[in-house]
């Protein structure tokens, strides 16, 4: 049983999947940083100095200046600004994966090009190989 498990874990597909998951997690962190640190500040500036990560609806009824203050007090909040950031993360990751899969599919189609037209055929009388456009066999002189 241990030998079978070792064969399973060292298979190419399992190792490839593990590498993909690790790279995907790291890529997700990069996209999250891109959205939170690069994309959202200019968007917030264009929309009137809005900090999306600080947008929330307070359900407790007590006033709080920031999301951190409300969370520190244990207030119930709906954090729709963080949700917007997460949706943007997802859209960017999904778009990049779409582009990646699209490129892989394009490369596969190029590899699976249709076979070239045959240039020769067999003479039905003497079974010799002759050019496809031949009208007479050069070996047995039969008309084709």
118-134 per-position pLDDT tens digit? 888 998 888 888 888 88
Range of the structural domain that residue 132 is part of: 118-144
Residues 34 and 88: their CA atoms lie apart, in Å, by 10
Same domain, 17 and 54: yes
Nearest to 84 by CA among 137, 46, 40, 115: 40
pTM reported for the whole predicted model? 0.55
Same domain, 89 and 126: no
Q: What is the CATH number of the domain that holds 65?
A: 1.10.1200.120
Number of domains in the chain: 2
Residues 85 and 33: their CA atoms lie apart, in Å, by 10
Nearest to 118 by CA among 128, 132, 129, 130: 132
CA 113 to chain centre: 24
Residue 50 binned pLDDT confidence (cut-offs 50, 70, 90): confident
Same domain, 57 and 7: yes
Same domain, 58 and 80: yes
Kindly state the DSSP code that residue 37 receives in the 8-state scheme: I
pLDDT above 80: residue 94: yes
Same domain, 103 and 125: no
Q: Is the dihedral of CA 80, 28, 51, 72 positive or negative?
A: positive
Beta strands 57-58 and 77-78 are antiparallel
Same domain, 41 and 90: yes
SS3 label, residue 14: helix
Same domain, 42 and 57: yes
Same domain, 124 and 70: no
10-26 per-position pLDDT tens digit? 666 777 787 788 888 88
Same domain, 69 and 55: yes
């Amino acid at each position: 049983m241990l030998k079978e498990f070792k064969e399973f874990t060292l298979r190419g597909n399992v190792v490839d999947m593990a590498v993909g998951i690790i790279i995907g997690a790291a890529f997700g962190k990069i996209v999250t940083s891109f959205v939170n640190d690069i994309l959202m500040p200019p968007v917030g500036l264009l929309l009137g100095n809005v900090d999306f990560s600080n947008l929330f609806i307070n359900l407790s009824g007590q006033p709080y200046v920031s999301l951190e203050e409300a969370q520190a007090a244990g207030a119930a909040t709906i954090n729709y600004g963080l949700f917007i950031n997460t949706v943007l993360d997802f859209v960017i990751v999904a778009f990049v994966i779409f582009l990646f899969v699209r490129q892989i599919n394009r490369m596969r189609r190029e590899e699976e090009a249709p076979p070239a037209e045959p240039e020769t055929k067999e003479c039905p009388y003497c079974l010799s190989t002759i050019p496809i456009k031949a009208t007479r066999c050069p070996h047995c002189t039969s008309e084709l």
